[in-house]
Every structure is written in structure tokens, then in C-alpha cells.
A and B are shown apart, each in its own frame.
Chain A
Amino acid sequence: MPPDALLRLDGVTRRYGDHVAVAPTDLSIQAGDFFAILGPSGCGKTTLLRMIGGFVAPSAGTVWIDGADVTRLGPERRPSGMVFQNYGLFQHMTVRQNIAYGLKLRREPRARIDAAVDEMMDLVHLRHLADRPAPQLSGGQRQRVALARALILKPKVLLLDEPLAALDLKLRKTMHGELRALHQAIGGTFILVSHDQSEVMTLADRVAVMDGGRIVQEGSPRDIYTKPADAFVSTFIGEANVIPGIRRGGRIDLGPDARLDHAGRDGPVNIMLRPEQMELDPPSGAPSLEASVVDLIFLGPFTHLHCALDDGVRLLVHLESRKLATFPAPGGRVRLGWNPSEQLVLDAP
């Protein structure tokens, strides 16, 4: 394995009977990364994370952490720490006892444990709640206890299983900031599992998108947004317009004003365009399609235009409000164009 990869998965697989939860997966994660595994529910992302943490045994494959094969080790013998979706706090303990649990198991001297717990509570702003019993904490406080409890053991990898899913939107935003700050402060390696693409874009510096038990694309959030591997990724990361077409002899015919030259094998393709890549009344020569306006939503700086092509394909266009001389009316016809250099042509499956 490359010396710089902190975590590596070699063909890691999990089957439940005939159902393949995680297809053979290879992955390497560098030390210091904030890595996110993104996918819809049931795509296998949590199973993958639990195999890294040692809670699910892989049906096949090897898990390496820091150069050691940990595939056969239980969670207590892996250098990983986990933050569970519902936190899994010890309800019969106080905040301090929860955070100290791991160090007590290691039989560290009392004074060292106390000092480390105090430091950890300062880091996650819980000092004032030290002696509060776990059941009396709010959602955000529980989250912080779970984080502190795992981080105090200085795990080589911190695994976060949808850690913010149970919090309301405002609290989630606050915790995003705190998670980023924590990651920078301690310089550890974080692996986050989430179905929320905006969370992943905010937090992670590398992303793997999963669907149907396999990783369909891996890269920086920006790579994945600008060059999605397929229509699924394009619609899952950010919003995307997917216009189906058929390529014959190096040409894709979408309509009278939208004949695109594009080399490739004959067959069905999808043209992917981000809502901000489409414009109203494009300059002549640019490809364009006629559509009827379904709805118009004014959001201050931006105006969202929901349109439908005559064959029923829905299009979403984000327009800058200040560039609009007149606002198209719902029910009216508009011409929507784009710059062909920005379009992404994906072979349809």
C-alpha cells in the first residue's frame, strides 16, 4: 500500500444472503483528510463505515488502517473512533463520566484522565455541563459529548455516521462550523457518512458518491460538481437538468436549434446542465430549446425559473434577478440556451 494512505480498503464487500449491501470496494484515504461518503439511504454507505469501524465483518476484502490489517479485529482493538447517528451516550453517566470512559478503560492515572477530560470539554464547549446526566442534554450537547468521548482517545480515524441528521437546520449549521474547526484544531482524519450533499460540500475536502452498494465517483467536491460521472451523481450533487437525446453519427439532435456535434458511439445520451449554466434568450448560434414556463420564484438576488419542454422534460434555470429586464410569466414560452463548452454529455446506461 502507498505509505501515505492512512486508510485503505481492498475489495471490501458485504453481502446479506443474496443482497449485496456493499459491492467490492477499493478506497484510500490520506492522513488529515476530511473525507465524506455521500449517497441516498440504503446505498451501503453506513455499512461501509461500520466495516471500517469493526462493527460489521466484511464478507470479503481487507481493511488497512495505518499500515496494519485490522479486518479481523473488533472495534475495541482498532485505532478508530466512532460518532453514532443517535450518539449512543451512556445514559447512566454524566457528561464527564461519558467522556472519561475510554481513558478509564485504559487505566490511566486519575489526574491525567481529569486533565484530559477538562481539556476535551473546553474544546467542545461543555465545561459548564460537566456533571449533568446524559439524559438531560439537548441534541446539540449530546452530539458534542459523543464527539469528545471519541476524540479523547486520539483515534487515527474518526468515523462520523450521519452525526447531524437528528439536529434541526440551525443547529446543524452551527455544528458544521464546529466540526470544521475541530478538524483543523486537531488535524485528524475524519470520515463522514451523509445523505446531505450541502453538508458534504461544506465539510469535506474529498467525497465518494455511493449508489447501489458501490462508489460511483470519488474526488474533490468541486470535481464532482463540475464533472459528474453520470446522471445520478449530477442530480445528487447539486441540482441538474438532464436532457435525454440520441447520438447518431457523431451528432445529437435535441431540436431544430439544438443540434450538437459530439463524437462517440451511437445510442442514447444525457446532456447535463446546471441550472446556473442555462440562460434566457441566448445569442444566436448557441444551442437552445423552446420551453413553456411552469413557475417563477423570485428569491432576491436570484430568480428560479421552472420550465417544461414539449416532451415533458422539466428544466430549472437560475437567473440573476438584476440581469432580467422583464420576468417571464408562467404559461408563456421562453427560449433557453447554453454554452456548448459547459454542457456535459453522458452516455445513458
Chain B
Amino acid sequence: MSGAWLLPRVYALAVLAFLVLPLLLCVLFSFTTGNSAAFPIPSLGLGWYGRLAESPQFRAAAWTTAQITLGCGTAATAIGLATALGLERLSRRAAVLILLTLCLPLMAPPLVLGLSLLTFFNFIGLKLGVTATVLAHLLFTLPIVTSVLYARLSTMDKAALEAARDLGASPGRAFVTVTLPVIGPSLIGCMLIAMALSLDDFVIAFFTTGSNTLSTLIWGMMRTTLNPGINAVGSCIIAISVVITAVAFKFTRYRG
């Protein structure tokens, strides 16, 4: 075998290993029966998960995260759909301009975003907590959801919608019987994307949450003790993220 054949493959494997190994190690250490996230691993077991399940802090954080994730997913999809339907009626130029404006928060560093949101929420007197975090997460999930739904709507056959009206459907009925079946998969996909993005966020949640979420819980745990319990929480987040993202990809053509 010549080096010209081998080199690109070794390089690709090395990059892959660099990207995936930390995740694999994190998951692996969560199954250890030892007391530290390090080699050697005495044996494998679910001990750390058991302790998590009994920990009131973890349960509270999981509940908070669930509320934020579901709330953000639902709200982003509902508002995004309404926005996309409105944009669809504008000229393409106007719609793109508004979408770009909507995307501005994506360009700001999360740290800056978190800080300014904290200031803003204090200013308007909004108590930090689930509502505040959901609102904050809408800032970066809404532009993505709206863009995906707008793209889907603008490739839809307008004549089908007009035909439905012609055949006796009210605007609402035409939406339910013609538009929804066509964009339904995109809607579900968008909701899952928004949920995945919300779940993955730490920085903005850290600034706006009232109680621990899963990600701020990890951060808190790391400051006090370093034990495989953190790995177990991390593995949970990874698992949920991967499942949500995989399902989302199945439903939309969204690829980042």
C-alpha cells in the first residue's frame, strides 16, 4: 500500500477519533463502578445512574429542563409557523430581509446574549426562571424554525391551496386539509430541532434560569466534586440530544 492511499484515511480517522473519543469516554466512565472518572475501570454497572435517579437535585433539574425544552419546542414551532405563513405573503426580498433580521441573535456570542438578556429581564422586572429561559431560548431557536418553515412553504404548490378554496374550503379548512399534511413533517422536525438546541444550551440558561437545569447542574457538580455522576448526567443529555436530532433529520431536510 502506498502512502498516498493511506495518509488521507489515517488523517480522517484521527479527526474522527478526536471528535468522538471524548464523548465515548464520557459515556464509558458513567458506567464505572469506581469512584472516579478515570482508568482503570474496576467493572461496569449502573450504580451512578441509580444514585442520580435518587438525587433530588437531579430530579428537580431534569424537571426544569423538560419544561424548558418542551416549552421552547412548542412555542418556537407555533410562533415560527405563524411568522413563516406571514412571510410567505410578502415579496421574496422583504421576506429574506426580515428573516435576516430575525437571525441577528445567532451572530452574537451566547455570553453577550445571556448577559444582555439578564439585564433586560431585570429591567422589565421578569423573574428569572422557566419562562425567562424559554423566552431566551426562543431568541436563537425561532430564526432557525422560521427559516426552515418558510423554505418549506415557499416550495409548496400554491395552486393546490387555491384548488381547495375553489372546491369549497374556507381558508382555515384549506390550511388544515392541504397545507398541514404537506408541512406536517417539517413542523415536527422543527419542534425537535428547537428542543435539541434548547437542551444543548448552557450559557444562556446559566444567565436566565432560576433553578438548576441539567446543564447548569453539571457545571455546579464540577465545581464541588469530580465523580462519574457528572458523566451519567452528561450521558443522559447526549442520549436525548442524539435521539431528538436523529428524529428531526428524518422529518426535515434541515442539515445544520
Contact = CB atoms under 8 A, between A and B. Distances in A.
A86 B168 CA distance: 19
Among B163, B164, B165, B182, chain A packs the most CB atoms within 10 A around the CB of B163
B162 A88 contact: yes
Contacts of A54: 165-166
Contact of A101 (B167, B181, B182): B167
Contact of A76 (B160, B169, B177, B181): B169
A92 B181 contact: yes
Nearest to A153: B167
Contacts of B165: 54-55, 74-76
B168 A88 contact: no
Interface residues of A, number: 26
A153 B167 CA distance: 8
A64 interface: no
A159 to B, nearest CB: 9
Given A82-B162, A82-B163, A105-B173, A90 B168 contact: no
Contacts of A102: 167-168
A270 interface: no
Interface string B82-120: 000000000000000000000000000000000000000
Interface residues of B, number: 20
A63 interface: no
Contact of B157 (A53, A74, A86): A86
B178 interface: yes
Interface string B20-36: 00000000000000000
B159 A84 contact: yes
Nearest to B156: A91
A194 to B, nearest CB: 17
B109 to A, nearest CB: 43
A89 B178 CA distance: 10
B166 A150 contact: yes
Interface string A65-92: 0000000001110001110111111111
A90 B178 contact: yes
B154 interface: no
With a 10 A CB-CB cut-off, give which of B157, B162, B168, B169 has the most chain A CB atoms: B168
B166 A80 contact: yes
A138 B137 CA distance: 46
B170 interface: yes
Nearest to B173: A105
B167 A89 contact: no
B166 A81 contact: yes
Contacts of B182: 91-92
Given A88-B157, A90-B178, A92-B181, A105 B167 contact: yes
A294 B177 CA distance: 60
A91 B181 CA distance: 9
A323 interface: no
A73 to B, nearest CB: 11
B83 to A, nearest CB: 24
A226 B109 CA distance: 75
Nearest to B180: A92
Given A90-B178, A91-B182, A105-B173, A76 B168 contact: yes
Contacts of B161: 88
A206 B141 CA distance: 57
A88 B163 contact: yes
Contacts of A106: 168
A214 interface: no
A197 B182 CA distance: 37
Given A87-B159, A88-B159, A82 B166 contact: yes
Contact of B168 (A84, A92, A153): A153
A89 B181 CA distance: 13
A142 B111 CA distance: 55
B160 A101 contact: no
A86 B162 CA distance: 12
A153 B169 CA distance: 13
Given A76-B166, A105-B167, A150-B167, A90 B160 contact: yes
A149 interface: yes
Contacts of A55: 162, 165-166
B173 A91 contact: no
B166 A75 contact: yes
Given A90-B178, A91-B182, A84 B169 contact: no
A153 B166 CA distance: 10
Interface of B: 157-171, 173, 177-178, 181-182
11 contacts: A54-B165, A76-B167, A80-B166, A82-B162, A82-B166, A90-B163, A90-B178, A91-B182, A92-B182, A105-B167, A149-B167
Interface of A: 53-55, 74-76, 80-82, 84-92, 101-102, 105-106, 146, 149-150, 153
The 7 closest A-B pairs by CB, nearest first: A88-B159, A102-B167, A88-B163, A84-B159, A88-B160, A75-B165, A92-B181
